[in-house]
Amino acid sequence: MSDFLLATAGAILFTVAVGLVRILGGPGDADRMMAAQLIGTGGIASLLLIAAATGARGVDDVALGLAILAAFASAAFVNSGAPAEEPDPNPADDR
């Protein structure tokens, strides 16, 4: 069973490598961000499969850390595209 899990992890890593090609030559920022999310998701899946196949300790914690980093990267990308707020020229007087 561990051979099957390691083979599956290898197939996922191959898919991640194809995503890396997309990051390097992607036409737009959104395409590159989606490829980066693919790398994060594929990395998490590969790490969890390797942890299950080998029984190595701590690999699942690394996968969790990668998941958190991927979520923060996604949030940072969305916030970077938000329009800047302009101050209100006529602030309301709350007296």
Torsion angle of the four alpha carbons 23, 29, 35, 39, in this order, in degrees rounded to the nearest 10: 80
Query: How many CA atoms, within 13 angstroms, populate the side-chain half-sphere of residue 13?
Result: 11
- Comparing 38 with 81, the larger pLDDT belongs to 38
pLDDT per residue over 27-37, tens digit each? 777 777 887 78
Which pLDDT score, from 0 to 100, does residue 56 have? 87
Which pLDDT score, from 0 to 100, does residue 8 have? 94
Cα dihedral 31, 35, 37, 41 sign? positive
pLDDT, average across residues 14-20: 85
Q: Which residues contact 3 (CB under 8 A, 6 or more apart)?
A: 53
Residue type, 23: I
What ranges in the chain are assigned the alpha helix state H? Answer: 2-25, 29-54, 59-80
Look up the pTM and report it.
Answer: 0.71
Domain residue spans of the chain: 2-77
pLDDT per residue over 46-80, tens digit each? 999 999 999 888 998 999 998 898 888 888 888 88
